[in-house]
Structure 1
Amino acid sequence: MALSPRLEFRQAQSLTLTPQLMQSIRLLQLSHLELNDFVEAELLRNPLLEREDGAEPGDAEPAQPPERSTEISAYEDTVDRGDRIQDATSIADGYDTAVENVFPDQGAQDQLVPSTRLDRNGASEGGEAPDIDQYVASRPVLGEHLEAQANMLLRTTADRLIARHLIDGLNEAGYLTLDIAALAEQLGAEVADIEAVLGVLQGCDPVGVFARTVPECLAIQLRDRDRLDPMMQALLDNIGLLAEHDMLGLMRAVGCDREDLTDMLAEIRQLDPKPGLAFDSGPVETVVPDVFVRRGNDGAWQVELNTEVLPRVLINRVYYATVSKLTRNPAEKAFLSDSLSTANWLTKSLDQRAQTILKVASEIVRQQDGFLTHGIAHLKPMTLRMVAETIDMHESTVSRVTANKYIATPRGLFEMKYFFTTAIASSDGGVDHSAEAVRHRIRQLIAAEVVTDVLSDDTIADMLKQEQGIDLARRTVAKYREAMNIPSSVIRRRQMKNLERMA
């Protein structure tokens, strides 16, 4: 067959992800905090966007821009107009006189209410006083706190240099992770000198920092309280027996009776095994629900969005029309057109995101009616595909919507991902069971144990099969038990016997 060039017409369909479509998809998986940060950045960048202050979109009337007798560029009117506003001090300097001579009441006002306005970086530019809610109390940093103490306790420059390296070697809990010998070789110092500096630093606040192990951390705190006697030191040396709940072996190793051991354990419980966490500088964020679920008057579940966390923005079209009439530069016209297009996309994407969250949450509530009514034992197995097929969406969309979203129910506050659990088949051919409900039942069985009847993993598996027809292997029961931080039956039996003897 001869090869020759030719023309062909083909008709095909394809989906192209535009940058705006990709951004809309990304908005779905943002939490309300991340979404508000994104919208705030758009408000600063786009002059046509403005935040809606508690009014309905149809009721908001954008402010009319001031009429100007001369033509101005769009860039000047949208970006530089704030820079052209002078405060009282600038005007007075232009007349080479004091502020009181130009504005007699300005001095008294400055003394009563400072005229400040925050820019995007939080700096004062003049205007209204900032809201106190814009400020948060600064928390001390562990490194700075310790370095200030080291500068007062250590006299020589060499010792302070060693102290800075030791402070840098602390983890977030306040434990020293550096190798002393390696640090001595790095600094060209003697190990004894570093140990001496370390001994001084171990007396810093918070007490217990610069320890290398948990027993050493507890020993530093007990020494500070003058409670580190030989018997307490023996207890710290055999703390592994305490972790194994071997109280009899611990009493033999320490050489004490039951009453002394009880008193020493009470003292240890008052100590802080991670003293450095008190100086954690990470922000504390409160979980705020995105969706509320309530029981209606008719007995049906009502699902509604938390409007307090949804950013609401408006497009100032009057401002756009006025400025575009005064614009002659093609680049400025393109800037205004792009700003209007971006503003339209953002408002549409925010509305679509809210409707999608509400749609997915409503389907979750519908399928998990048994959980909301009766509790975790009635939690049904549910997958992303089950929800996606019901509401006619793609599985990946449901996954993005449920990421970092929380739903408040009469049963408590849950992450949306909590309701998606794997199914465990029933041995009698009945309804499948949720893995979370099975874990809850295992927890209940173990909580009801007595010292004479501690359940093994095999016994728990047999009880689940007999009671509810749940066919689980022993290793699966062990996996669920370990995931809930529940020790084995041997350790649980030992714990119960020790508690019984200590009582």
Structure 2
Amino acid sequence: MELRPELTTRQQTALSPRLYQSMKILRLSAPDLLELLHKELDENPALEIPEPSDYDHDAGLSAERQLWEDYVRADGSRQGSFQGERPLNVSELAASPVTLSDHLTLQLDLEGLPVEEHRIGLALIGSLDDDGYLRDSVECIAGAIGEPAARVEQVLTVLQGLDPPGVGARDLEECLRIQLLQMKAGRLAVEIVARFLPEVARNAYGEIARAVKAPLARVEKAVALIRELNPVPGSLFDVSPPAGAVIPDVFLLVEEGRVRVLANRETLPPLKLNQVYQELAAAGEAGPETVDYIKNKIRDATRLIRDLKQRRATITRVAEAIAGHQPDFFTRGPAYLRPLSIEDIARELEVHPSTISRAILGKYMNTPFGIFEFRYFFSSGYTTAGGERLAANAVKKRISELIAREDARKPLSDQKIATLLAGEEIRISRRTVAKYREEMGALPSWQRKKIGICRDTLPGSSGE
């Protein structure tokens, strides 16, 4: 066998720090983003919130402002204007928290893996802790699911390429290395993570520079980049119970059957560049180091303002696309939700599905029927005998209604619910009914019957 050098070319996506920040801002929920903005306002003197006098009150109403006033005027008249819909319970509108498992499973489904590898991926996701780390060994997981360790390791590599960056790592070093490799940060930063994390913690830049034989300035730059990484990928996802109030990112107003989308600008403060700092940078009269410092801060502030505008535009575009695919939901109610996939929206907006995945994470919209999470509108579905397509969430809603109206002493079994749905031309199996019932937190029929009997025996009950 003869060994000889060979030159090949291939395309590979490089994630720059600038793009990394843009993706991070898109992924954050409104409360998390507000916390980030407060931090930036504290640390960057070139960034500020404009005074009320800075606004042009004589410029007239913008189209968005006019839409907002239309929304406010119509708000009081929407109640009770949708005939045929039963009043919704508050619990039905409560937003469930976005979990790390949900976010990763959604992305794993987009990878198009073979069935067995998809099953391994789900097992790996289920083995992650709240911080997003894989604490169990690959060998242990492979033994539990009956798959070769090499195959599990291969799927783990796929998992580690998903969002958030660093997820699926087995230790801090691997977590940071994954993020650096995705950013194409260079060999020096990767080597520092692999060999000098204790020195980084001690700010021993000189020791690191001497050991790697690199200029001190390069080491300081690499360490600064490392410190910006997220050592706890799972921290982006709240594992605590959901808060009672949810702030919508967009409002949807229905007028004469047409849906209009309005970005909620009240959740985040407006930002602008500090004029004094701009003048100092333009004059260049301060010392070189001071001028460089000011220019760097102005550049960071400009980039943040641009990323915020891009985030708002992307979320609004996604909401408009959802409205275009789900017109019956917004005009007739949740029972008319249709199947919709992330790929459908990605194709329409001509972006990668991962961008849509980030844009819907932890985002909410205020509709005529209450506040819903963006991800609520994405689900698989069924085709009725009459050819009508229904989303899985709409089927779940119908199951919930059947259970709510059942006789507590003779609750409906999963098979009976499947039969009733078949009578409505919704043909799903008993096992699917059981799966949806468990996902909604509803008890099986024998337990619901037991609770009904207990209620009948309470003092003052109307039972026998």
TM-score category (smaller protein): 0.5 to 0.7
CA contact (8 A) 1:380 1:434 kept: yes
CA contact (8 A) 1:454 1:492 kept: yes
Within a 5 Å distance, the mapping from 1:36-55 to structure 2 comes to 36-54=34-52
2:331 is aligned with 1:373:
yes
SS at match of 2:422: helix
How far does residue 59 in structure 1 lie from its aligned partner after superposition?
8.3
- Counterpart of 1:343, as a letter, is A
**CA 1:500/1:45 → structure 2, altered by over 3 Å: closer, same or farther?**
closer
Partner residue of 1:108?
A: none
Partners of 2:387 and 2:24 in 1: CA distance: 40
How far does residue 51 in structure 1 lie from its aligned partner after superposition?
1.0
Partners of 1:367 and 1:388 in 2: CA distance: 13
Partners of 1:495 and 1:316 in 2: CA distance: 64
How far does residue 456 in structure 1 lie from its aligned partner after superposition?
2.0
How far does residue 285 in structure 1 lie from its aligned partner after superposition?
6.7
TM normalised by structure 2 equals 0.53
- Counterpart of 1:23, as a letter, is Q
CA contact (8 A) 2:364 2:373 kept: yes
2:339 is aligned with 1:339:
no
Partner residue of 1:313?
A: 271
Partner residue of 2:349?
A: 391
**CA 1:29/1:54 → structure 2, altered by over 3 Å: closer, same or farther?**
farther
- Counterpart of 1:311, as a letter, is P
**CA 1:37/1:482 → structure 2, altered by over 3 Å: closer, same or farther?**
closer
**CA 1:467/1:51 → structure 2, altered by over 3 Å: closer, same or farther?**
same
SS at match of 1:304: strand
Partner residue of 1:288?
A: 247
2:444 is aligned with 1:488:
yes
- Counterpart of 2:333, as a letter, is G
1:430 to 367, 383, 387: 387
What CA RMSD, in Å, does the superposition of the two structures yield over aligned residues? 3.3
SS at match of 1:302: strand
SS at match of 2:45: coil
Partner residue of 2:15?
A: 17
- Counterpart of 1:43, as a letter, is L
How far does residue 445 in structure 1 lie from its aligned partner after superposition?
2.0
Within a 5 Å distance, the mapping from 1:76-475 to structure 2 comes to 286-296=245-255, 298-317=256-275, 319-322=277-280, 325=283, 327-426=285-384, 428=385, 430-450=387-407, 454-468=411-425, 470-475=426-431
How far does residue 374 in structure 1 lie from its aligned partner after superposition?
1.5
Partners of 2:406 and 2:242 in 1: CA distance: 41
**CA 1:438/1:2 → structure 2, altered by over 3 Å: closer, same or farther?**
closer
**CA 1:55/1:352 → structure 2, altered by over 3 Å: closer, same or farther?**
farther
Partners of 2:341 and 2:241 in 1: CA distance: 34
Q: How big is each residue's C-alpha offset from its partner over 1:420-479, in whole Å with a ceiling of 9 and x where there is no partner?
A: 1222344x37233211111111122223323686432112212212312x2322122112
Answer with 374-383 or 311-320: which moved more: 311-320
Q: How big is each residue's C-alpha offset from its partner over 1:12-55, in whole Å with a ceiling of 9 and x where there is no partner?
A: 76543211110010000112222122122222222222112346
**CA 1:390/1:326 → structure 2, altered by over 3 Å: closer, same or farther?**
closer
- Counterpart of 1:389, as a letter, is R
**CA 1:43/1:488 → structure 2, altered by over 3 Å: closer, same or farther?**
closer
Partners of 2:15 and 2:341 in 1: CA distance: 27
CA contact (8 A) 1:43 1:49 kept: yes
TM normalised by structure 1 equals 0.49
**CA 1:329/1:412 → structure 2, altered by over 3 Å: closer, same or farther?**
same
How far does residue 3 in structure 1 lie from its aligned partner after superposition?
9.0
Answer with 493-502 or 365-374: which moved more: 493-502
Q: Percent identity?
A: 36
SS at match of 1:47: coil
**CA 1:370/1:3 → structure 2, altered by over 3 Å: closer, same or farther?**
closer
How far does residue 484 in structure 1 lie from its aligned partner after superposition?
2.7
- Counterpart of 1:434, as a letter, is A
Q: How big is each residue's C-alpha offset from its partner over 1:159-213, in whole Å with a ceiling of 9 and x where there is no partner?
A: xxxxxxxxxxxxxxxxxxxxxxxxxxxxxxxxxxxxxxxxxxxxxxxxxxxxxxx
Greater Rg over alpha carbons, structure: 1
CA contact (8 A) 2:409 2:453 kept: no
How far does residue 408 in structure 1 lie from its aligned partner after superposition?
0.6
- Counterpart of 1:440, as a letter, is K
CA contact (8 A) 1:293 1:410 kept: yes
- Counterpart of 2:301, as a letter, is A
SS at match of 2:262: strand
SS at match of 1:309: coil
How far does residue 358 in structure 1 lie from its aligned partner after superposition?
0.6
Partners of 2:402 and 2:325 in 1: CA distance: 27
**CA 1:494/1:5 → structure 2, altered by over 3 Å: closer, same or farther?**
closer
Partners of 2:449 and 2:244 in 1: CA distance: 40
How far does residue 359 in structure 1 lie from its aligned partner after superposition?
0.4
How far does residue 353 in structure 1 lie from its aligned partner after superposition?
0.8
How far does residue 411 in structure 1 lie from its aligned partner after superposition?
0.1
Partners of 2:323 and 2:444 in 1: CA distance: 36
**CA 1:47/1:444 → structure 2, altered by over 3 Å: closer, same or farther?**
closer
Partners of 2:42 and 2:35 in 1: CA distance: 11
Partner residue of 1:96?
A: none
CA contact (8 A) 1:324 1:336 kept: no
Q: How big is each residue's C-alpha offset from its partner over 1:204-247, in whole Å with a ceiling of 9 and x where there is no partner?
A: xxxxxxxxxxxxxxxxxxxxxxxxxxxxxxxxxxxxxxxxxxxx
Partners of 2:423 and 2:245 in 1: CA distance: 43
CA contact (8 A) 2:259 2:330 kept: no
Partner residue of 1:276?
A: none
Partner residue of 1:68?
A: none
Partners of 2:439 and 2:241 in 1: CA distance: 27
Aligned length: 278
- Counterpart of 1:325, as a letter, is A
How far does residue 393 in structure 1 lie from its aligned partner after superposition?
1.6
CA contact (8 A) 2:254 2:330 kept: no
